[in-house]
Amino acid sequence: MSFSISGPLLDFCVLALVEQEDTYGYELTQRLIEAIDISESTMYPVLRRLSKNRYLETYDKAIDGRNRRYYRITPEGIKLLKEYELDWETFKSQIDQITGGDEA
């Protein structure tokens, strides 16, 4: 994959995944790696930013005697996700317009 995914685009992907169901760091990373080219350890800053801005909230669950931190989307997070969805549609059609991707 030659396109790098970072910043708002990565936030968009994370919000979309967490909205489907609550998830934890490792699972989220694995699901992203399936589709896009990111390093396994780069999710922490993204999750921290989204939590700090209250788009995500965390809760802890005991699994096999240790802790697993889950992430859940907040109402603000859902709002941001809807904005990203609209922005993405616009962005996609703009790129298609330039590259002729919508003619096919």
End-to-end CA distance of the chain: 22
Of residues 5 through 64, those in contact with another protein by CB under 8 A are 24-27, 29, 33, 39-42, 44-45, 47-49, 52
| Dihedral class, residue 64 (left if φ above 0, else alpha if ψ from -120 to 50, else beta) | left
What the block records as the tokens of 25 is 């760091």
What's the min distance (Å) between Cβ of 95 and another protein?
27
> Of 70 and 84, which CB lies nearer to another protein in the complex structure?
70
3-state secondary structure of 104: coil
Task: Name the residues that contact another protein, by CB under 8 A.
Answer: 24-27, 29, 33, 39-42, 44-45, 47-49, 52, 66-69
